[in-house]
Amino acid sequence: MKQLPKQITRFIAGDAQADRIVPPTGYTAELTIFAAAVMAFLAIFSLALSSSMGRLADRWSDELAQSLTVRISAPAEQMDAQTSAALNVLNTTPGIASARAFTDEEQQALLAPWFGANVQIDALPIPRLIEVIEDDGSLDINGLRLRLQAEAPGAQVDDHARWRGPLVASANRLRLVGWMAILLIALTTAAIITLAANAALAANRQVIFVLRQVGARDAYIAMAFVRRFTLRALTGSAIGTALAVIFMIVLPSGAAGNGLLTDFGFTGGGWLLAVLLPFFVAGVAFSATNAAARRMLRSLT
Amino acid sequence: MKQLPKQITRFIAGDAQADRIVPPTGYTAELTIFAAAVMAFLAIFSLALSSSMGRLADRWSDELAQSLTVRISAPAEQMDAQTSAALNVLNTTPGIASARAFTDEEQQALLAPWFGANVQIDALPIPRLIEVIEDDGSLDINGLRLRLQAEAPGAQVDDHARWRGPLVASANRLRLVGWMAILLIALTTAAIITLAANAALAANRQVIFVLRQVGARDAYIAMAFVRRFTLRALTGSAIGTALAVIFMIVLPSGAAGNGLLTDFGFTGGGWLLAVLLPFFVAGVAFSATNAAARRMLRSLT
Amino acid sequence: MIELENVAYSYGGGELLSNVSLSIQPGSFHFLTGPSGSGKTTFLKMLYGELIATAGHVRLGGIDTRSMSRDQIALTRRSIGMVPQDTQFLDHLRLVENISLPLLVSGRDTGSAQTNLDDLLRWVGLTNHANAYPPELSGGERQRAALARAVIMSPSVILADEPTGNVDWEMSQRLLTLLVELNRLGKTILIATHDLTLIRAAKAQVQARVLRIAERRLHLAGADL
Amino acid sequence: MIELENVAYSYGGGELLSNVSLSIQPGSFHFLTGPSGSGKTTFLKMLYGELIATAGHVRLGGIDTRSMSRDQIALTRRSIGMVPQDTQFLDHLRLVENISLPLLVSGRDTGSAQTNLDDLLRWVGLTNHANAYPPELSGGERQRAALARAVIMSPSVILADEPTGNVDWEMSQRLLTLLVELNRLGKTILIATHDLTLIRAAKAQVQARVLRIAERRLHLAGADL
Ligand SMILES: Nc1ncnc2c1ncn2[C@@H]1O[C@H](COP(=O)(O)OP(=O)(O)OP(=O)(O)O)[C@@H](O)[C@H]1O
Ligand SMILES: Nc1ncnc2c1ncn2[C@@H]1O[C@H](COP(=O)(O)OP(=O)(O)OP(=O)(O)O)[C@@H](O)[C@H]1O
Ligand SMILES: [Mg+2]
Ligand SMILES: [Mg+2]
């Protein structure tokens, strides 16, 4: 294990002379670098999309948690009694984290759009509003309605704010699409690199034949090709990743607010993934080329 | 021109004997088909994303167009006069398509969330609401406020519904990202096919040399390769397109409502583009291979 | 008719061949000799449009190869059979298909050449290998296949570059007989070889001129060969 | 020491070689002849681990090639210099690099072999082409380069498959002299050739046995050659 870093250094530094035995493979080289770059670019973008959508879904879910309102319409003298009865019911209902009556100031603020800021709220027969915060999805709204009807006849449950539910579902689905795209891109990268490595090896059959003929061992021949392809894949995907990151940074960040993509990009974990991506691609290239080289070698004596 | 269909038929049917002169190119063949398929798949998805986002942005923009409300709070006896004065101002303001006072029933419906459905609206000192529909973005809200202050002192302009603005911007940006992805994918496809064609031609240098040696014309040699690659690209991208379309159809369509992706997919024009995509890819393959073949041929006598 | 007028060739360094003038009459039989590396292959390639003289004129059928279009060169090659020194084939096609390749690429019917093809295979001793793929052939078999491919179109000129380098004496006599027969039918023959015994054997059967490359020039060898 | 015991080889059809037994002593000089397609190349490939006998045993240094691992074959090849009939090189490397390739792949210092390399290039007449790329060489030059590559490691066995098929008489004498010299230094030499004059010339310089393949069997040719 202590040898590993040395091995890696040697792998990257390579043996300048041994390297020369593999011809510059021209188009397959460009193909590998290019494909690795594009795939890394697309992967980073999908990752950012997934990650943004994930955060959006989380935020909207949080807002949804406060989406239930109970409205008590009752004659002024019964108002307080019914309010505390309703609060009682709510605080003993499973699935509800907390329930709290709005203060007069809060009610006034809510109504401002309709009446203007200078309305005298006490002069109006305004219902009392109770803000309910759910704690998970387990709240049984119909059961709650029945219990409230019994305890506080003037109480009405209003979940009109639930309209954001489908939005959350959509954001979650976009996140899923993002992850699927990443998976697809990873598979494609592996496949393209494998095919490119195979194509290069097939094109270099003569080289491999000559090397075997003059007494080269399989490991020596395979390593020469593997090094080439791994370094190419690493280079390509590093370029693609860097371009994608730069692109995301300079992408105009749009209007502030709760927009969909105003915070398009990564959080900490995403950055880590972005840094690891080129090494992942290099790893794929390493094993693909190694397998292809061994297979080709076995077909020659 | 009348000859064109015949030429195309001949191109696809090919010359079975002439075809054999090009060896089955193994890995580059698989590479081309695979790359074309994946790229078509991704392109269709990006197209669907763009198209969905476009529709979403359009719908939200439409809703935004009705996002302005004017509220008239005035003593009951001045209400009608101020309302018609305000309507007057609104109807002569540039950038406003129409303005219309809500009826009592509409106002009651709007207030229902706050007071319940059985509130007696005439008993309340409720302001009159005027729904304003903008026609483009040219409305000068501050100018409008000043004019209204002069004509109808009780009028207040409320554009609180504008909160969806950033959402529309975001949807538009997602649409843009989708188009950028399509562009990137198109460029990548062209590049991968070009590189694969070049790699295959480089690997077949001996074949081309022998053919020239025995008296084959450039056009004959080039066409053999071009046919191969074009048909491969067509096959690959048709497979990819078909898979993407099937995938989109079976993708669970999620909750109904105004979700982001509940109508993820194409409208008419999108379907047309999907059908055309494989032919576009085939066209790219045709010109890329032709250019590569001509280039390689010129390097041999 | 092949004409060379003050031809020179250089691969970029000094001139390999200088001031070569020659006229090869239709129906004539020529040998080309010279030490290894003297330029025999280079010379043949010029007669074939694969290399263009760096100075002077090489005229095939009266047209300077330098002014020929690529298609003209392709068409000219259909009347020239070339046996290259390093024989190359389409490795994915069987031997018969490789031998009839010139017919295929020129759009001729390969069926009508069938008897011709069978006779040819028998003569060069490859009947048993008709369905083999080129990598399955021995060195001498490849050389014989290349000769068969060169003559299948019944070209008016046959250029052969060391056609007997890998075959035994008996087989080289057989191949020579084939070329002599073709010459009697009016074909022009030019053979580059370092095998002096082959030249001597040929001279017994046909009137052949021997050209020798020495010190960048083309000489006509005397009767001492 | 190379030993063959009841060896047979078949490419899938009938047997090409049958019942071949032979023992090649270290330091011996052998020629292998036979008509084109008789199996000379096939025979050499078996002595080299490229083909494995379909019956019988081929033992190199006492070990049956059939039971050798791939790495063992690679290592064995470092003590066998092979001049193949169809010479192949790494076309992206210069001639000197190609000739020293065996040193490179076996991890030996190419620097120490420098004088050796220079002498060798001079002997095979390729000093002027040291920096050329293989596709820029003539047929004979390639063959000479292959011989140089085969002997650069000073292997104990040298197998040469038609090493003079593309060179003129003088050059073939030069190459023969090189091989005779190496034989005098104790190397085992086996040359497959159809060139009987080469064999005769060699017999004047060295005690050589001539093997002939005929009708699937290996015969020892008499003194009549
Ligand atoms: N493509 C090339 N670039 C540079 N030099 C070349 C090229 N091809 C051949 N030469 C050089 O030109 C010289 C003549 O080569 P050519 O093949 O014509 O010789 P040759 O007479 O046919 O020899 P041989 O009998 O060995 O076949 C050689 O020294 C060779 O190295
Ligand atoms: N890979 C192969 N598959 C099938 N048959 C083969 C293969 N290689 C060679 N042969 C056949 O085996 C026979 C012997 O081939 P080999 O190359 O050993 O002959 P050779 O004696 O070296 O001939 P030459 O003097 O022409 O080089 C030939 O008839 C050839 O067609
Ligand atoms: Mg030559
Ligand atoms: Mg042989």
- Is residue B66 one of the residues assigned to a domain? no
> Between A135 and D25, whose confidence is greater?
D25
What is the maximum alpha-carbon separation in chain A?
105
> How many Å lie between the alpha carbon of A24 and the closest alpha carbon of chain B?
12
Is there a single domain that holds both residue A28 and residue A177?
A: yes
Rounded CA-CA distance D39/D218 in Å is 10
Q: Distance between alpha carbon B270 and the CA centroid of its chain, in Å?
A: 8
Domain end position, chosen among B83, B118, B153: B153
| Token representation of residue D204 | 């004047």
Is there a single domain that holds both residue B181 and residue B291?
A: yes
Helix axes B218-250, B165-203, angle to 10 degrees: 140
Rounded CA-CA distance A238/B19 in Å is 41
Per DSSP bridges, beta strands C15-24 and C2-10 are antiparallel
Residue corresponding to tokens 């590993």 = A4
- CB-based contacts of B6, cutoff 8 Å, min separation 6: none
Asked if the C-beta of A139 comes within 8 angstroms of chain B's C-beta atoms, the answer is no
Is there a single domain that holds both residue A208 and residue A247?
A: yes
Is there a single domain that holds both residue A92 and residue A226?
A: no
Helix axes B268-298, B26-65, angle to 10 degrees: 150
Percent of chain A clearing pLDDT 90 (strictly above) = 11
Restricting to A residues 87-126, those with a Cβ less than 8 Å away from any Cβ of B are 110-111, 113-116, 119, 123-126
pLDDT-flagged residues of chain B (< 50): 160-161, 254-262
Regarding chains B and D, contact by 3 or more CB pairs under 8 A is answered as no
Among D40, D44, D131, D166, pick the best mutation site for testing chain C contact (most C Cβ within 10 A). Answer: D166
- Chain B contacts of C88, Cβ < 8 Å? 206, 209-210, 213
Q: If you average pLDDT over residues A13-21, what whole number do you get?
A: 71
Q: Do C88 and B17 touch (CB under 8 A)?
A: no
In this predicted structure, the answer to whether residue A274 has a pLDDT above a threshold of 90 is: no
DSSP-based three-state secondary structure for B128 = strand
- Is residue B67 one of the residues assigned to a domain? no
- Chain C contacts of B301, Cβ < 8 Å? 49-52, 73
Q: Do B215 and C50 touch (CB under 8 A)?
A: no
Is there a single domain that holds both residue A204 and residue A276?
A: yes
pTM: 0.81
Every domain range in chain C assigned CATH 3.40.50.300 = 1-79+156-225
- Is residue B148 one of the residues assigned to a domain? yes
Per-position b or e across B77-102, b if 16+ CB within 10 A of its CB: eebeebbebbbebbeebeebeebebe
- Is residue A159 one of the residues assigned to a domain? no
Q: Do C101 and B20 touch (CB under 8 A)?
A: no
| Token representation of residue A33 | 């670098």
- Provide the pLDDT for residue B260: 45
Task: Per residue of chain D (225 residues), give pLDDT as tens.
Answer: 899 999 999 999 889 999 999 999 999 999 999 999 999 999 999 999 999 999 999 999 999 999 999 999 999 999 999 999 999 999 999 999 999 999 999 887 666 666 688 999 998 999 999 999 999 999 999 999 999 999 999 999 999 999 998 888 889 999 999 999 999 999 999 999 998 889 999 999 999 999 999 999 999 887 666
Complex ipTM value = 0.84
Q: Do C138 and D196 touch (CB under 8 A)?
A: no
Helices (H), C48-123: 70-77, 95-99, 101-105, 114-123
Is there a single domain that holds both residue B259 and residue B190?
A: yes
Is there a single domain that holds both residue A56 and residue A186?
A: yes
**Domain residues for A205?**
3-61+171-299
- Is residue B196 one of the residues assigned to a domain? yes
Name the CATH superfamily for D1-79+156-225.
Answer: P-loop containing nucleotide triphosphate hydrolases (3.40.50.300)
Is there a single domain that holds both residue B96 and residue B245?
A: no
- Is residue B85 one of the residues assigned to a domain? yes
Yes or no: say if D73 and A218 are a contact pair by the CB < 8 Å rule. Answer: no
- A6-15, A50-59, A93-102, A215-224: lowest mean pLDDT where? A6-15
Q: Is the CB of C51 under 6 A from ligand 1?
A: no
- pLDDT range class, residue A254, cuts 50, 70, 90: very low
Which atom of ligand 1 lies nearest, measured to the CA of D141?
26
- Please tell me the total count of domains within chain A: 2
> How many Å lie between the alpha carbon of C204 and the closest alpha carbon of chain B?
32
Is there a single domain that holds both residue B195 and residue B278?
A: yes
Rounded CA-CA distance B190/B193 in Å is 5
Q: Amino acid identity, residue B263?
A: D
Mean pLDDT of chain A: 77
Asked if the C-beta of A52 comes within 8 angstroms of chain B's C-beta atoms, the answer is no
Is there a single domain that holds both residue B175 and residue B269?
A: yes
> How many Å lie between the alpha carbon of B178 and the closest alpha carbon of chain C?
45
Per-position b or e across A268-284, b if 16+ CB within 10 A of its CB: eebeebbeebbebbbeb
- Is residue B158 one of the residues assigned to a domain? no
Is there a single domain that holds both residue A187 and residue A45?
A: yes
Q: Do C166 and D171 touch (CB under 8 A)?
A: no
Asked if the C-beta of B273 comes within 8 angstroms of chain C's C-beta atoms, the answer is no
Is there a single domain that holds both residue A35 and residue A184?
A: yes
Q: If you average pLDDT over residues C12-27, what whole number do you get?
A: 94
